[in-house]
Structure 1
Amino acid sequence: MIVDANVYWLPEQLFSDSGVRNHFLRCVPEPYGTRALVKDDGDDKAIVIEKPNGRHNFDYYGRDYDLDRQLADMDEAGVDVAVLKLPGVQEWLDLDLCRQFNDWMAERQEASGGRQVALAVVPPVADDEVLAELGRCHDELGLHGLQVSAHYGERYLDDPMFRPLLHAAADLDMTVYVHQTALPVDYGSLIDYNNVRRSMGRCFDQLTAVSRELFSDLFEELPELRMVHSMLGGGFFAYRTMLLPTDSGNGRFVTDNDRQRQYLERNLFFEMSHAQPWGEGCLELAVHELGADHVIYGSSYPVKKSWLTGGVSTVLRLDVADEAKECMLHRNAESLYRLG
């Protein structure tokens, strides 16, 4: 079985129902430098997210999320099951809209005949109602994990304000998928050039998030918590040895990193969020540095259809063991997201 662990979904109602769309637009934090625009190209509505204002970062086209279209493209790609995620918008949704999205995601699971499974979304600062909604997603809706953002405002997920939600996810045995935001907290030097802003911005965000989680007390407090980071953790594989040195450099670096190595083995996993842009050499290095049991295939479809249709073949061409490819293409996702 082939599992694509990163396929994006938005509800049809966001594009067809002005009430839902207006509710969504009110959630976007425009006073904090993020703006949403609605565009109509004649055949379809699109929602464009700018961060900061005037800098294009996300775009969503309603036709991209049609079930029949997605299933046909999955068939063409040889993908059996897709794990559905929201493409960044989980950062802003209030609880009422989260409840609606969770209901629609459960309906999408059923309509797909099990070929698409979804992750729950709730606001990150958990009160009793938020925790009740997470429990409903697990117990009643049958959703397969929890999706969060790498940071909210200026706070990354190691911040104590997010512990109640992460506690609840761990107690429910729900894997937490960490989606990148459009830009890291500190982004002033990244915004001028499109590829730097849209690619490096996301990677810097993830790399910062992973590193803060790794060196905080998060996994000491929550040893059962499993977190999957997108974008291969921002290329974390390239920094693993440097961040966990064994040579103290005359005392300049901390070398007592046994706990961090344990967290990396036990708690952190990495989804590639499209294979081709990394290139085969980087993917092989990621397997070597992180272990094949920690690397997960995902395409970021429908951002580019070619990332879906050519992604599996890219993994199959890697110069790694066949067992490693099996882990990447389905075993890891099956275990983390309770598939099958």
Structure 2
Amino acid sequence: MQLIGIEEHMLTPEVRDAWDGAGLAAVDPCVAIHSGEIERRLLDMAQARVSLMDEAGVDVQVLSLTTPALHHMGPESVEMARRTNDAVAAAIARHPDRFQGLATLPISMPDEAALELERCVRTLGFKGTMLCGRVGTRSLDHPDFRPVFESAEGLNAPILLHPRTPDAAVRTAYYSGFTPEIDAAFSMYGLGWHYDAGIQFVRLVLAGVLDRLPKLQLILGHWGEVVLFYAERLKAMDRVSGLDQPIETYLRRNLYVTASGMFVPDYLQRAAAIVGTDRLLFSTDFPYQYRPGGDARRFLDECGLDGAAKAGFAHRNWLQLTSGCGI
């Protein structure tokens, strides 16, 4: 059974150098974790990556620029995004049966970002895009970003909402008081990343973005970035939200959920109960959650899904979601 991982990350030397040149490590501690073996695996989009995919049992990776992507970059990000996407397209051309792409966008320049998304989908054949939460002080529901979401809906291009490090003030208020190493981990992969991504989705719902763009499809990793585990509490906001639909409708109509390497059958069952098995997607969160020994394939075999539901999770839901991309 074909296994497609839809949240699998990469990095280019140019973007890494741009992060360093902007002093990004001083404001976003996640920059520091992109080093050593993690960095080497991110930078490789050739045979070494394919070999690790074979070892894990993954047939196809959908490549996306790792967090914080270009969210801290200004006008210079327009051409940097083009070069990054062209590099991914070149990797896909070398391994057309093993790689697909999600567009890197110069999101601080929304009009240009919308055009780059169209280029990536229509010209390069990419399958959507990935956004990493806030842009400066603006959350993704800010009206400035409307062109990007309108472009995505018009292109039938899904948007993966990826975690990023919370704002410094949030980290100080909620994730500090321990050692620097614990503070950083707590604010990132320990918990902070996932609340941040889930909140971005909820904000898009509450702001009415999915009322204005009802065909827009969003993806949350890590089994819904905490949101699904509090779906009952979210639904309680129906009495004050003023939305066109109950919040439960947006969870089942506009949201796909992926594993991100959290291979826990109980989490899969919870996600399936809320969004449906036809909205489950597979991913390993390469290279952060990479584990050797056929780990990805083993989880598919033991996940508790059977027949059409298992095939959907493994590959068919993704193929169906992206079948109209660019049309």
TM-score for the superposition, normalised by structure 2: 0.83
| Counterpart check, 1:75 vs 2:54 | yes
Indicate whether 1:49 and 2:36 are aligned: no
1:130 aligns with: 113
Would the aligned equivalents of 2:3 and 2:282 in 1 still touch at CA under 8 Å? no
Residue number in structure 2 paired with 1:8: 9
Bigger relative contact order (CA 8 A; separation at least 6): 2
Give SS of 2:100's match. Answer: strand
Change (3 A) 1:305 1:155: same
1:273 corresponds to which of 260, 279, 292: 260
Q: What is the rounded CA distance, in whole Å, between the counterparts of 1:159 and 1:296 in structure 2?
A: 28
Identity %: 23
Structure-2 change in CA distance of 1:311 and 1:190 (3 Å): farther
- C-alpha distance in structure 2 between counterparts of 1:333 and 1:244, whole Å: 27
Specify which of 22, 28, 37 is matched with residue 34 of structure 1.
Answer: 28
Quickly say closer, same or farther: Cα 1:205–1:184, change in 2 above 3 A: farther
On the 8 A contact 1:275/1:311 being kept in 2, the answer is no
Q: CA deviation at 1:201?
A: 0.9
1:105-184 correspondence runs (5 A): 105-126=88-109, 128-183=111-166
Q: Which residue of 2 aligns with 1:297?
A: 282
Q: Deviations over 1:239-261 (max 9, x none)?
A: 11221149x9xx8x779884322
Change (3 A) 1:4 1:245: same
Work out the CA distance in 2 between the residues paired with 1:121 and 1:214.
23
Q: Distance in 2 between matches of 1:63 and 1:219?
A: 36
Alignment of 1:210-221 (within 5 A): 210-221=201-212
| Residue in structure 2 matching 1:222, options 198, 213, 219 | 213
Q: Does 1:85 align with 2:76?
A: no
Q: Give distance in 1, aligned partners of 2:250 and 2:15.
A: 40
Farther off after superposition, 160-169 or 280-289: 280-289
1:207 match: 198
Counterpart of 2:5, as a letter, is D
Q: Once the two structures are superposed, what CA deviation does each residue of 1:161-199 show, in whole Å capped at 9, x if it has no partner?
A: 111111112112211111110236723212442553322
> How big is the shift at 1:125?
4.0
RMSD: 2.9
5+ residue gaps, structure 2: none
Q: Once the 2 structures are TM-superposed, how far is the Cα of residue 58 of structure 1 from its aligned partner?
A: 4.5
- Encode CA deviations 1:94-138: one digit per residue, 9 max, x unaligned: 112111101101101101133101111112244554333222212
Q: CA deviation at 1:319?
A: 2.9
- Contact 2:9 2:66 (C-alpha < 8 Å) held by counterparts: yes
String of CA shifts for 1:204-230, please: whole Å, max 9, x gaps.
112211221222210111112111122
Whether 1:337 aligns to 2:322 is: yes
Matched, 1:327 2:317: no
1:102 aligns to what? Answer: 85
TM-score, normalised by the number of residues in structure 1 = 0.80
Could you list the per-position Cα deviations for residues 267-299 of structure 1 after superposition, in whole angstroms to 9, with x for gaps in the alignment?
Answer: 1111221133xx222222222222112221110
Does residue 61 in structure 1 map to residue 46 in structure 2?
Answer: no
Structure 1: state its 5+ residue gaps. 36-47, 51-56
Whether the aligned pair in 1 keeps the contact of 2:57 and 2:296 (CA below 8 Å) is no
Alignment equivalent of 2:186, drawn from 196, 203, 206: 196
Higher strand share: 1
Task: Answer yes or no: is the 8 Å Cα contact 2:156–2:324 preserved in 1.
Answer: no
The question of 1:187 aligning with 2:171 is answered: yes
Alpha-carbon distance between aligned partners in 1 of 2:229 and 2:114, rounded to the nearest angstrom = 36
Distance in 1 separating the partners of 2:39 and 2:220: 25
Whether the aligned pair in 1 keeps the contact of 2:110 and 2:144 (CA below 8 Å) is: no
Residue 242 of structure 1 pairs with residue 233 of structure 2 = yes
In structure 2, distance between residues paired with 1:80 and 1:157: 32
Structure 1 CA distance, aligned partners of 2:292 and 2:228?
Answer: 21
